[in-house]
Structure 1
Amino acid sequence: MGSLVGHVAPGVAIFLLGFWHLLNNIRLHYLHPNSYTSSPWFPTSKFRYAELCFIMVGTSISIAMELFIGPSRHQPFDPDGTIPSYHLHNFEHSSISLTFFVYAVLAILLDRTPNHPARDINLIKGLTQLIGAIAFAQQLFLFHLHSTDHMSVEGQYHLLLQFIIAVSLATTLMGIRYPKSFLISFVRSISITFQGIWLIVLGYMLWTPGLVPKGCFLNFEEGHQVVRCSSQEALDRAKALVNIEFSLFLVGITIFAVSFYLGLGRMYGLKIVEYSTVQENDEGEESDSDVESQKRSNKLLQDSKSLIHMGKASN
């Protein structure tokens, strides 16, 4: 990471992934409110593993950028084979990407388990959720013990990012125990979306000179630029601004998520009502047909009785 592109690119990918989960969880809940069950990933109609392949491709690019493309020598080691201190963060970021890559691979392997009586779909989903939780735990662990300076403005952004990751981790673990809870899946989807948004914001706010807080400046250190402040007062002010920024984005994404839920509810609700109306009309037409048939049968029966009575009278 360590740059605007290094934060914005993965941020966009995580945002798209979170939005995909949010869309599918809401749609699934509206279409099947009584039988809703959360899913750790969602297949597409054209290619079942599109989401998981997207994760694998994205994390592979991230690892390549961190370890081979980004470093000036196109490899992260010193001539003696040791890891220099200014490349430690590259290994931390690539370790996070590697864990999510492993998650995607294992999710595909679990889904392709041979279909036999002992195969439990809920168990497969639970194991996949557990691997996802391990990936979030790894992410939280490495950001919490990040080699980057925790006291800087960037450290404040990373601290707030840890809160979002913790929500993703907690809801993923809760989803194993409560797979039918839409609310848990809804919050998890929002937290993943928020992760992506916050990484994008972090990238622009820390590496765009015009957005650096007053009293702070970009300084080139250990191979990349970092935000430094001229005084403790300027640093405290910059951190306070980051906290306010986080609060505003939290309110904004809450409004967006609820509005998106209501909007999709209106769309899918109309479809359900139309479908129910068609069914009721069909049933009504069938009942009308049955009534007419019954009337015709009764009329034929009465006519036949009248003919029999007339035959007896003539005799």
Structure 2
Amino acid sequence: MVSTQDFHRYLPLPEGALCFIASSAFCAEYLLFYFHSTTHKGLEGYYHFLLVILIALCIISTVAGALMRASFPADLSSGISMTLQGLWFYQTAFTLYGPMMPEGCKLKDDMISCKSMDNQVRGELLATFQLFALVNGVFVAAVGSYIFAVRKYGHSELKRVHAGGNGFDRN
């Protein structure tokens, strides 16, 4: 197995370079889906539009991670945005091409068509609800993971406060 020291010896990269490489990959994905989604109209176009927004969040968070290398919030936002993007891919697949198609809409000849504008608006509202449900689910999972980690491994500043200190080192 190759260690990180061996890897850096063969391919020396400055700190944060991996984040910039990842952001360039997200930029390519953004351009692909941005131009791809211009051909989709209606409900399918709306799902693609929401995907493009999530990809833009991935770009912003990975660039922030490159600029602020030791920032926990930047790393957390990057992980959350990538998780949301991946979950949205699945949500789009299940909704548009699977069993969760909104009532009044159907897949016909590789196109999503809705019977009326009301059905399309209801489908778009459903998409917005699905996205916010995913955002809330990922938020609850992140907070739950943080609470679990703090309980299991503790927090050094909190331990100093409980031990009688104020949590800050004075030298």
TM-score range (shorter-chain normalised) is 0.7 to 0.9
Which segments of 5 or more consecutive residues in structure 2 lack a partner in the other structure?
Answer: 157-171
TM-score, with normalisation over the residues of structure 1?
0.45
> Among the aligned pairs, what percent are the same residue?
28
Of residues 241, 244, 261, the one that matches 2:126 is 241
- Alpha-carbon separation, structure 1, partners of 2:118 and 2:90: 26
Q: Is 1:266 the counterpart of 2:156 in the alignment?
A: no
Q: Is 1:201 the counterpart of 2:86 in the alignment?
A: no
Match of 1:150, SS state, is coil
**Following TM superposition, by how much is the alpha carbon of 1:184 offset from its aligned partner in structure 2, in angstroms?**
0.3
Of residues 119, 132, 155, the one that matches 2:22 is 132
**Following TM superposition, by how much is the alpha carbon of 1:47 offset from its aligned partner in structure 2, in angstroms?**
6.4
Q: Report which of the two structures shows the higher radius of gyration computed on alpha carbons.
A: 1
Match of 2:161 in 1: none
Letter in 2 for 1:111: F
- Alpha-carbon separation, structure 1, partners of 2:31 and 2:7: 28
**Following TM superposition, by how much is the alpha carbon of 1:247 offset from its aligned partner in structure 2, in angstroms?**
1.4
Match of 1:227 in 2: 112
Letter in 1 for 2:147: L
Alignment of 1:173-212 (within 5 A): 173-208=63-98, 210-212=99-101
Letter in 1 for 2:81: S
- Alpha-carbon separation, structure 1, partners of 2:37 and 2:97: 19
Q: Answer yes or no: is the 8 Å Cα contact 2:34–2:52 preserved in 1.
A: yes
- Alpha-carbon separation, structure 2, partners of 1:139 and 1:265: 36
Q: CA RMSD in A?
A: 2.7
Match of 2:109, SS state, is strand
Q: 1:48 to 1:146 in 2, by over 3 A?
A: farther
TM-score, with normalisation over the residues of structure 2?
0.79
Match of 1:179, SS state, is coil
Of residues 107, 111, 121, the one that matches 2:7 is 111
Of residues 204, 210, 213, the one that matches 2:102 is 213
**Following TM superposition, by how much is the alpha carbon of 1:147 offset from its aligned partner in structure 2, in angstroms?**
5.4
Which segments of 5 or more consecutive residues in structure 1 lack a partner in the other structure?
Answer: 1-45, 50-109, 273-315
Letter in 1 for 2:30: L
Structure of higher RCO (CA pairs closer than 8 Å, 6+ residues apart): 1
Letter in 2 for 1:178: M
- Alpha-carbon separation, structure 2, partners of 1:217 and 1:47: 50
